[in-house]
Amino acid sequence: FMNNGSFSKDLFPFISWFKNYKKKAFLSDLFSGATVTVVLIPQAMAYAIIAGLPPVYGLYASLASVAVAAIWGSSRQLSTGPVAIISFLVFATLSKYYEPNTQNYISLAIFLALLIGIIQFLMGFLRWGFMMSFISHAVIVAFSTAASIIIAFTQIPNLIGIKIKLHEHVWQNFLEVFNHVNNLNPPTLYIGISSLFLIIVFKKISKKIPAALIVVIISIILTKVFSLDSMGVDIIGKVSSEFPKLQLHFFPNMFFELLPAALIISIIGYLETFAVSKSISKQTKQKIDVNQELIGQGFGNIASSVFQGYPVSGSFSRSAVNFSSGAMTGFSSVFVSIFVLIILLFFTQYLYFLPKAVLAAIVIAAVLSLISIENIKKVFSISKLDGLVLIIVFCFSFILKPDSAIFIGIVLSLFIFFRMSMKTNVIELVYNKHTNRLSSKKRSKKKNSITSGELLMIRIDMPIVYINSEMIIEEIISVAQKHKETRGIKRILISFLGVTYIDSSGVNAISSVIEELEHEKIEVYFVHARIPIKNKLEKNKNINKIKKFNTDRDAFENCK
């Protein structure tokens, strides 16, 4: 079984890590694992709070998922675990069913991780990774930007020490913050703002400095020494040091209700994962397998659920730390899981005096780095339609629920795609006497162009399929009739150079064009039909009789 190289590599991709794995690689992975753990611990607890869960569930989500996702994924430097955007989507999805931090809410979050894991695994196993391309870059940029702002704003209450009632819609939470801002707690505000300031300063000095961990340690010491909790500073309190009970949570009555949101979170989580993997692979030259990575993320979420964690994804920041620390294989992530286990069992008591304001500062600093004005500018510069989609998704993320905004963005993107697919691209041609090639009439210089009064030359520059075939018929007939009226054409030469694919509807459409043009007493000729296209065309009796040419020169000389 293990000697079957191809099969074992697909089932156990981590086997390839053992090839030439020596002491140097082991030490590099060990060091990288320790470095990532330093970043992960405060982030995991902070992100759990975003998800509406007690901080310890961030540690539970990091116990096995980090190692399992790495073992069955394809990227050797990808670091999986709790991330801000997925945590926010979990909260947005589940808060309408149960009150955050309650047992039912926690159980539902654990079940959601299982559901997402199964979806991602099935997508990878069935090799449906291509489906990720249905979400446009504009939708991702819009949602990431909006989510970053929303997440940062949701941490304001913890940052400044106010209590608010959480609502399903984001704009209602904004109003709650503004209405209660006069009730802030000054010591909490000082801790929160100074922590945020220190994290930003440390990151400016060097990204290798464990800014979050330093701020966590300082704040715990200050809170304990000066009894800041007695002054109204909210602390996380007792964190369980018990190993989680391994079990699965099921909500069969809510399966179909949660399925749309689970699908969205699965896709968004994977897109973030794939973006990180591709970014790193450009430097490592490692090939990333889309479907294998889906399987890895699926197993990672299932493992998170078994260990009482919530949905996880690949992390931008921790993957960057893992890579820059010299990780050579996914064993670095295995070491992360081991270190998290050690911290969970023996060191959680030291987190008792950790102010929630510090966790809020860690979250805000992390998500603000996800806002990229440059990416927004690029979307608008490349396509105004994509820019419009970006604006709509961004605005609806605040007006509606965030997952609803993503749905709207996907539908809009698909609508634009189909609309552009239906847009015909039939180009008039001239013959270039210097190159002996047919070229676009608009782009050719008049002194080099030759035309024939009785010949119209056009090129179809698109696949001819059911969605656009009728429009192509209308466009060709319209152009032919216009030229028949103006200069009395008797022949039309159609170049298939730009046709990369044709289906049965397309073949029937071309047949209809021939019939219509012959009825108008216009002869039809073809040039540059690729072999697969030509074979399909010639199966139609009406098309088979049409004379076809292989070169532009032959076509022009025989048809002019």
Among the listed residues 162, 109, 74, the one whose alpha carbon sits nearest the alpha carbon of residue 308? 109
Among the listed residues 510, 516, 517, the one whose alpha carbon sits nearest the alpha carbon of residue 540? 510
Residue 491, both tokens: 């022949």
pLDDT value of position 7: 47
pLDDT value of position 447: 67
pLDDT value of position 301: 97
Torsion of CA 69, 72, 73, 78, to 10 degrees: 40
User: Residues 533-538: contacts with CB within 8 Å, 24+ apart?
Assistant: 533/496, 533/499, 533/501, 533/502, 536/502, 536/507, 537/502, 537/507, 537/510
Instruction: Say what the pTM is.
Output: 0.74
Contact 116, 262 (CB under 8 A): yes
pLDDT value of position 142: 85
CA dist 479 and 205 (Å) reads: 64
pLDDT value of position 357: 93
pLDDT value of position 325: 79
Which amino acid, residue 174? F
Q: What is the pLDDT along the chain (560 residues), one digit of tens a residue?
A: 344 444 455 677 777 777 778 888 899 999 999 989 988 998 999 899 989 999 999 999 999 999 999 999 888 889 999 998 899 899 989 988 999 999 999 999 999 999 999 999 999 998 887 776 667 778 878 887 888 888 888 888 889 988 877 666 677 778 888 888 888 999 999 999 999 999 999 888 887 788 888 999 999 999 999 999 999 899 988 888 889 988 888 898 899 999 999 998 998 888 778 777 876 777 777 777 888 899 999 999 999 999 999 999 998 778 888 888 788 898 999 999 999 999 999 998 998 999 999 988 988 887 777 677 888 888 888 888 889 989 998 998 888 877 778 788 888 888 887 777 677 788 999 888 888 888 888 877 776 677 778 899 999 998 898 888 888 999 999 999 999 988 899 999 999 998 989 999 999 999 999 999 998 899 999 998 888 898 999 889 889 888 888 888 899 988 87
Q: What is the pLDDT of residues 457-479, one digit of tens each?
A: 999 998 898 888 888 999 999 99
CA dist 174 and 512 (Å) reads: 60
Chain centre to alpha carbon of residue 503: 31
Angle at 93 between CA 92 and CA 99, to 5 degrees: 80
pLDDT value of position 408: 87
Angle at 472 between CA 138 and CA 546, to 5 degrees: 140
Among the listed residues 76, 30, 88, the one whose alpha carbon sits nearest the alpha carbon of residue 335? 30
pLDDT value of position 167: 67
Integer CA distances (angstroms), 347 to 239, 341, 410, 555, in order: 10, 10, 44, 81
